[in-house]
Amino acid sequence: SILGLYKVFTDCDCTMVEINPLAELTDGRVIVCDAKVGFDDNAEFRQKKIHDMRDTTQEDPFEMEAKKYDLNYIKLDGSVACMVNGAGLAMATMDLLDLCGAKPANFLDVGGAANKDTVTAAFKLIQNDKDVKSILINIFGGIMRCDVIAEGVVSAVKEIGLTKPLVVRLVGTNVELGKKIIEDSGLPVHAIGDFHEAAKKAVELAK
């Protein structure tokens, strides 16, 4: 049985195979009462039959939309939306929002390979969330350049408008160019360089 589990795990490109609970019958037999299996999205090309059975009606529509653009997005139950690059900075941003008195509305890591279209899609995603009261964009430009983020945000706002207060913190690669793009756009943006102050402003605007 254990070898069978291992074979399923490897042959089907699983990320998890969990059997819980097991039950022992009066005659000594052990049966599986329930199981949970997860599959690697990156292996969809060779596990088409399995992935074709996916029931997207049971999944969060925001997360499904994010997946189309390879965005690392998880919907949460707070009121301040976050757009950040890097999982570590995203976690720190959410923790700081919590310390400042508000809960994050999402985890959103645009990653280092994002482009203008990806950032535009990310901004649309968080602005269209009815639970969001304010938006905090917190970018440390390393691989991801600040000007790319700025261009994506400006592009998204021009397309769908700005309906929620927006705080932007840009630091790092091409930061001056990024700030200039936002400044020249004329958008009513709260541009704040200090991490703590940016988080406090986003929380204030969400109340």
Q: What confidence tens digit (pLDDT) does each residue in 112-161 have? A: 767 778 888 888 899 889 999 999 999 887 777 888 888 888 888 888 88
> What mean pLDDT do residues 156-169 have?
88
Query: Exposed e or buried b for every residue in 79-97, given b needs 16+ CB within 10 A?
Result: bbbbbbbbeebbeebbebb
Residue 26 has pLDDT above 90, yes or no: yes
> What mean pLDDT do residues 179-201 have?
92
Please tell me the distance from the alpha carbon of residue 17 to that of residue 33, in angstroms, as a whole number.
14
The amino acid occupying position 26 is T
Residue 14 has pLDDT above 90, yes or no: yes
Whole-number pLDDT of residue 58: 79
Please tell me the distance from the alpha carbon of residue 139 to that of residue 170, in angstroms, as a whole number.
5
Whole-number pLDDT of residue 36: 93
